[in-house]
């Protein structure tokens, strides 16, 4: 081989070797970049899994509030307060003198279950005043205008409110109302409820309460109790009287439904009777009216008895002849009636 060609061949080989080396270096860089990309994708998948887990946990917590203590917040972040339970807002208070304590008690239940919402005395008094109406609203408006400082003191505000409105039935007044209480037209359940409220203020023993409760029952319940054994406590008496009252009321409903069913059955089985169409004689005059004629009785004929009132009424409603009992003609045009027996009633022809 020519030395010149040999040198040229070596140059080409060295050039190709350099190109191969460059390609290898580039390929290594690409592989390194691909490895880094794979690592980044793996890390991103891990983060996505973590986010999905947190979302699932949040959704589960919203749907079913956990009973246990929530997990601790990450370091450096402010811990979240637990969600306060829902509690029904009390009914508005109109100033009834016998229900002030119940109203304030219901408000205190709201405050105890939602301490974060009603953390200050001012928020508590504002909540109470927002539920006042009628006389109670007029009082709280005047009180807040003349005593603004006390409106920020929950204890002082409720004490003043009790002083004005808290006058329930107690002592002798409760005894008087209990002795005059009776069932009337109410159910035994309603009567027993009113009786329990008043008897709680009297402090009487079981025997006395049984006697008073029995005295106020309706006569019908007393009659039913007279056939039963005596009860040993007020609770047994109330349960027995309630059971008897419910059964009697059920029987009354059954009887009423039975009467309605019988009335409906009789009305549907009895055909509807219509008044006959007024008949006309050949001159065009009406032969029948809405009532049978007063002088429609036939005199006694040989072999023919006088029509009874029921038979006359039947023939009238069916449009039959009062003489022969056939249809299609009035008595005045009866073909079988002797001509000489026709008579004219007083007041003209009918």
Domain annotation covers residue 257: yes
Query: In this structure, are 137 and 189 located in the same domain?
Result: no
Least confident among 47-51, 232-236, 292-296, 305-309: 292-296
Q: Per residue in 261-275, pLDDT tens?
A: 777 766 665 555 554
Query: In this structure, are 198 and 260 located in the same domain?
Result: yes
Q: How many domains does the chain have?
A: 3
Domain annotation covers residue 148: yes
Question: Could you say which of 165, 185, 203 is where a domain stops?
Answer: 165
- Residue 150 pLDDT level (bands cut at 50, 70, 90): confident
* 282 has a pLDDT exceeding 80: no
Distance CA 180, CA 215 (A): 10
* 281 has a pLDDT exceeding 50: no
Residue 26 tokens read as 């580039």
- Residue 238 pLDDT level (bands cut at 50, 70, 90): very high
Domain annotation covers residue 332: yes
Query: In this structure, are 329 and 265 located in the same domain?
Result: no
Range of the domain at 154: 100-165
Percent of the chain past pLDDT 90, that is, above it, reads 17
Domain annotation covers residue 8: no
Query: In this structure, are 294 and 230 located in the same domain?
Result: no
Contact 123, 115 (CB under 8 A): no
- Rounded to an integer, what is the distance from CA 138 to the centroid of its chain? 33
The number of C-alpha atoms within 13 Å of 189 and in the hemisphere containing its C-beta is: 5
Instruction: Kindly state the average pLDDT of the residues 195-212.
Output: 86
Percent of the chain past pLDDT 70, that is, above it, reads 76
Instruction: Kindly state the average pLDDT of the residues 25-50.
Output: 82
More reliable by pLDDT, 341 or 38: 38
- Residues 6 or more apart in contact with residue 175 via CB below 8 angstroms: 202
Query: In this structure, are 198 and 254 located in the same domain?
Result: yes
Q: Which residues of 57-83 are buried (b: 16+ CB within 10 A; e: fewer)?
A: eeeeeeeeeeeeeeeeeeeeeeeeeee
Domain annotation covers residue 33: no
């Amino acid at each position: 081989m020519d030395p010149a060609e040999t040198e040229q061949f070596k140059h080409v080989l060295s050039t190709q070797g350099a190109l191969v080396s460059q390609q290898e270096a580039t390929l290594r860089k690409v592989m390194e970049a691909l490895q880094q990309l794979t690592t980044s994708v793996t890390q991103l998948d891990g983060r996505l899994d973590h986010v999905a887990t947190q979302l699932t946990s949040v959704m589960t917590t919203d749907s079913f509030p956990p009973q246990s203590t929530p997990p601790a917040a990450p370091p450096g972040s402010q811990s979240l307060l637990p969600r306060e339970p829902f509690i029904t807002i009390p009914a508005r208070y109109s100033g009834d003198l016998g229900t002030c304590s119940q109203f304030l008690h219901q408000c205190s239940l709201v405050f105890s279950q939602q301490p974060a919402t009603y953390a200050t005395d001012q928020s508590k008094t504002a909540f109470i005043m927002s539920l006042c109406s009628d006389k109670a609203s007029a009082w709280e408006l005047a009180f807040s205008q003349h005593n603004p400082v006390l409106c920020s003191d929950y204890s002082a505000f409720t004490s003043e409110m009790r002083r004005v409105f808290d006058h329930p039935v107690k002592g002798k007044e409760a005894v008087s109302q209990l002795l005059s209480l009776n069932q009337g037209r109410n159910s035994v359940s309603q009567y027993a409820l009113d009786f329990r409220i008043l008897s709680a203020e009297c402090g009487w023993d079981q025997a006395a309460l049984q006697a008073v409760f029995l005295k106020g029952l309706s006569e019908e319940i007393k009659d039913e109790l007279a056939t039963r054994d005596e009860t040993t406590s007020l609770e047994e008496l109330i349960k027995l009287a309630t059971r008897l009252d419910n059964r009697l009321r059920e029987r009354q409903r059954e009887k009423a439904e039975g009467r309605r069913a019988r009335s409906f059955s009789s009305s549907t089985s009895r055909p509807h009777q219509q008044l006959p169409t007024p008949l006309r004689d050949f001159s065009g005059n009406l032969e029948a009216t809405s009532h049978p004629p007063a002088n429609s009785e036939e005199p006694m004929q040989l072999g023919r008895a006088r029509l009874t009132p029921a038979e006359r009424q039947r023939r009238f409603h069916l449009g039959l002849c009062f003489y022969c009992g056939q249809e299609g003609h009035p008595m005045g045009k009866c073909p079988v009636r002797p001509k000489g027996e026709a008579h004219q009633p007083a007041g003209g022809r009918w």
